[in-house]
Amino acid sequence: MSNETVLQVKELKKYFPIRKGIFKRTVGWIRAVDDVSFSVSQGQTLGLVGESGCGKTTTGRCILRLYEPTAGSILYRLDDQLENIVEFNHAEMKRVRQKLQIIFQDPFSSLDPRMTVHDIIAEPLRINRIGTRAQQSDRVEELLDLVGLNAAQMNRYPHEFSGGQRQRIGIARALALNPEVIVCDEPVSALDVSVQAQVLNLLMDLQERLNLAYLFIAHDLSVVEYISERVIVMYLGKIVEIADATDLYESPRHPYTEALLGAIPIPDPLAKRTRKPLTGTVPSAANPPSGCNFRTRCAYAQDVCAHEEPPLMHIAGDRSVACHFADELELTGFSRGGASRLPVHSALPDLTGASSTEGSPG
Amino acid sequence: MSTRPTTEQHDTLLRVRGLKTHFRTEQGMIRAVDGIDFEIRRGETFGIVGESGCGKSVTAYSIMQLIERPQGDIVSGSIEYMGEGGRPIEIAALDPNGPDMRNLRGNEIGMIFQEPMTSLNPIYTIGNQIVEAIVLHQRVSKVEARKRAIELLDRVGLSDPQNQIDDYPHQLSGGMRQRVMIAMALSCNPRLLIADEPTTALDVTVEAQILDLMRDLQQEYDMSIMLITHNLGVVAENCDRVMVMYLGKVIEEGSAVDIFYNPRHPYTRGLLASIPQIGLSSRLMPIDGAVPMMQDIPQGCYFAPRCPHVMAICEDEPPMFFPTNAQRAKCWLYSAEAPQQHVK
């Protein structure tokens, strides 16, 4: 896996106007994404977590220019050069979008109900005039096979498939043009637990096979930890912390990261832990607090936090934190409260017990 | 939501026996809940887990007699509620719109729902809605009811209840709305609170706040809670006992510790192996396939097509419960004949 940067986001801003009155005068701005910078390396997964309204989905959509960024640049590697795609015209964007794809959260609304699965997956090929019809069909079959669906079902319509299968169809469509980067916007949050695991494993297998880079947007911290090498935590349109997944979960440096980790319910009834629940809710992005965005809910806030906005500072190793006291605070990482691993992941006892004569079944 | 010692005597509050709730649809009969038994004890938190379509919500709606008729109906079974008087009330026999059922809802059994926005009426202030509930169920004046509503809103953690009582639902955040729902459900001191995915629509930090609040209120009001969720972390942290459902049937039941530390049914094991756990890099082991549509349910064990331990008998005959101590699992693997079975 090379460490080459395929996608770089620099000082990205996306403000949505708040319009009021009959003339729809702009009375204010929602700062959905406010000065966000990061880069994605080839073959890697960068997780993006945060609570609703933190700007994670907007960031993902700006990268594909489904939303036009208000400011900032999005650099994408084309022919070994990083080029700013914000300035690209329609035709150039079409070329970029072959390499830069997206998977959506809701497998029900992201597939056209009037198109067959074959047509849905072949559409990107058709639009980009790749191959003959027969070649396109072969490719569809290949893709269905790749995502674990039966190619015999390709003439069916989306409603005939379950949520997990529909998400696989969405993945097949995203893979049709051999992309390098896929923005995964909450790809598993609408799925049941057992199906969620199937899709996560599929995404990881595809990454290994096709050397894909993912920007994996999710609100579920356990899912993000499972799939990501690096993780960004966002709060109210800003990045509060970026670090390698293990570092971030074991030793967070931002109070918000600590609070998020402390709130994860642990699937172990014997886990004992003292949680310091975060009070209040996320303030409105139209009217964010002065200074540090997070200070209104922060247990460690001091006077300076109300006046000065903490910049995202590079600290030890390969991590950055936006907190005035990043060096002083002693924060607790994720702890499962004693038990180091849950028993379900230990070896399963023989189901049929000692009476079994055939060894373990299955 | 505390772990209670097992020596304490079990005082049953709600006993469900052979409950079947079916729905008639164009695709045929949907057996959403198909013969389930369980009981909820006083003061405990009883969890119901399962994936979408397993019948966990329909179970709750059946207890509250909120099944949409005539498409749906409680076909058979009993739901016994042990009220204060000591004489059990047979909920399944009550008229869903009759005075007895109305009295039971709210006064004895409260319910909160997944999406607090759709369960609050958008055209009335939250105060109006809570006052209405109190006046309907208790003999108090409106002024008295409003005072009580403010107290409740304060208790569930609204920052400025004096003013917020006159807010409309849309003026509140999701977490605040869920707090209002809880205040409303608690307004008449129910003995049993049914919480149907109460935190699924909420952010993780807000979820933690709401669950903490429910835990505190449970102690304060001495309630039993029936917690329906698909989140195994929420179950582990909050429930004393857990029931796992699959396609309208209970497939395993036991204490939370038993379910998580010694899951017996292959489905329960599969669920637990499917959740990503922080700090463990091992690959997830998902269950194969997907939940079958209600129309093409297998004839033997419903889980047989996805089960890694499937035997010949599983495809022909539905299993019964094989109890072991306090835990029971519906799986042929625990039958005495299992070793003689042909493993597929």
Q: In b/e form, how buried is each residue of A275-289, taking b as 16+ CB within 10 angstroms? A: bebbeebbbebeebb
B277 touches chain A (CB under 8 A): yes
Give the residue with greater pLDDT, B327 vs B184. Answer: B184
The residue type at A218: A
Mean pLDDT of B203-214: 88
d(CA A101, CA A114): 22
d(CA B99, CA B233): 39
The reply to whether residue B205 touches residue A278, judged by beta carbons under 8 angstroms, is yes
d(CA B135, CA B335): 54
Residues listed for chain A: 362
Which pair of structure tokens corresponds to residue A76?
């994408």
HSE at residue A128, side-chain half, CA atoms within 13 A, is: 18
The reply to whether residue A361 touches residue B309, judged by beta carbons under 8 angstroms, is yes
| CB-count exposure of residue A13 (10 Å: 0-12, 13-18, 19+) | middle
Question: For the segment A164-184, what is each residue's pLDDT rounded down to a tens digit?
Answer: 899 999 999 999 999 999 999
B325 touches chain A (CB under 8 A): no
Cβ contact B227:B243 at 8 Å: no
pLDDT band at residue A71 using 50, 70 and 90 as cut-offs:
very high
Mean pLDDT of A121-132: 94
pTM for the full predicted model: 0.88
Q: Of the candidates B126, B123, B251, B264, which has an alpha carbon nearest to the alpha carbon of residue B184?
A: B126
Mean pLDDT of A2-7: 81
Task: Say how many CB pairs under 8 Å bridge A and B.
Answer: 176
**Does the pLDDT of residue A85 top 90, yes or no?**
yes
Interface test with B, best of A191, A193, A204 (most B CBs within 10 A): A193
Which pair of structure tokens corresponds to residue A4?
């080459």
Strand partners, B19: B36
Question: For the segment A289-338, what is each residue's pLDDT rounded down to a tens digit?
Answer: 999 999 999 999 999 999 999 999 998 878 999 999 998 998 988 877 65
Cβ contact A104:A61 at 8 Å: no
pLDDT at B83: 79
In chain B, pLDDT over 70 holds for what percent of residues?
94
In chain B, pLDDT over 90 holds for what percent of residues?
49
pLDDT at B51: 87
Helices A117-127 and A163-175 pack at an angle, to 10 degrees, of 20
**Does the pLDDT of residue A43 top 50, yes or no?**
yes
Cβ neighbours for A280, distance < 8 A, ≥ 6 positions apart:
A296, A297, B159
The reply to whether residue A197 touches residue B231, judged by beta carbons under 8 angstroms, is no
Q: Which residue has the tokens 């707090």?
A: B179
Of A128-137, B123-132, B305-314, which gets the smallest average pLDDT?
B305-314
- In three-state secondary structure terms, A13 is strand
pLDDT at A1: 42
Q: Of the candidates B144, B63, B70, which has an alpha carbon nearest to the alpha carbon of residue B105?
A: B63
d(CA B103, CA A27): 50
Cβ contact A69:A12 at 8 Å: yes
**Does the pLDDT of residue B285 top 70, yes or no?**
yes
Q: Per the omega criterion (within 30 degrees of 0), is the bond before B276 cis?
A: no
Shortest CA gap B88–chain A (Å) = 32
Q: Which residue has the tokens 């998902």?
A: B286
**Does the pLDDT of residue B251 top 70, yes or no?**
yes
Mean pLDDT of A259-285: 83
Sheet-wide strand order for A100-103 = A100-103, A181-185, A213-218, A45-49, A230-235, A238-244, A319-321, A313-315
Give the residue with greater pLDDT, B313 vs B62. Answer: B62
pLDDT band at residue B303 using 50, 70 and 90 as cut-offs:
very high
pLDDT at B321: 84
| CB-count exposure of residue A42 (10 Å: 0-12, 13-18, 19+) | middle
Residue of B nearest to A265 (CA): B233
Give chain B's mean pLDDT: 87
CB atoms within 10 A of CB B68: 9
Give chain A's mean pLDDT: 88
**Does the pLDDT of residue A40 top 50, yes or no?**
yes
Chain A residues closer than 8 Å to B260 by CB: 267-269, 342-344
CB atoms within 10 A of CB A26: 12
Residue of A nearest to B259 (CA): A269
pLDDT band at residue B296 using 50, 70 and 90 as cut-offs:
confident
Residue of A nearest to B174 (CA): A281
The reply to whether residue B204 touches residue A334, judged by beta carbons under 8 angstroms, is no
pLDDT at A360: 36
Cβ neighbours for A149, distance < 8 A, ≥ 6 positions apart:
A117, A165, A168, A169, A172
pLDDT at A284: 82
Cβ neighbours for A307, distance < 8 A, ≥ 6 positions apart:
A290, A291
Which of A51, A163, A361 lies at the smallest CB-CB distance from B343? A361
Q: Which helix (H) or strand (E) holds B250?
A: strand B249-255
Which of B208, B259, B276 lies at the smallest CB-CB distance from A223? B276
Question: For the segment B96-113, what is each residue's pLDDT rounded down to a tens digit?
Answer: 999 999 889 888 999 998
pLDDT at B87: 79
d(CA A204, CA A171): 12
Strand A230-235 to A45-49 pairing: parallel
pLDDT at B70: 86
d(CA A239, CA A231): 10
B314 touches chain A (CB under 8 A): no
pLDDT band at residue B344 using 50, 70 and 90 as cut-offs:
low
DSSP E strands, chain A: 5-20, 25-41, 45-49, 71-78, 81-84, 100-103, 181-185, 213-218, 230-235, 238-244, 313-315, 319-321
HSE at residue A361, side-chain half, CA atoms within 13 A, is: 24
Cβ contact A48:A221 at 8 Å: no
Mean pLDDT of B189-198: 92
A197 touches chain B (CB under 8 A): yes
pLDDT at A337: 63
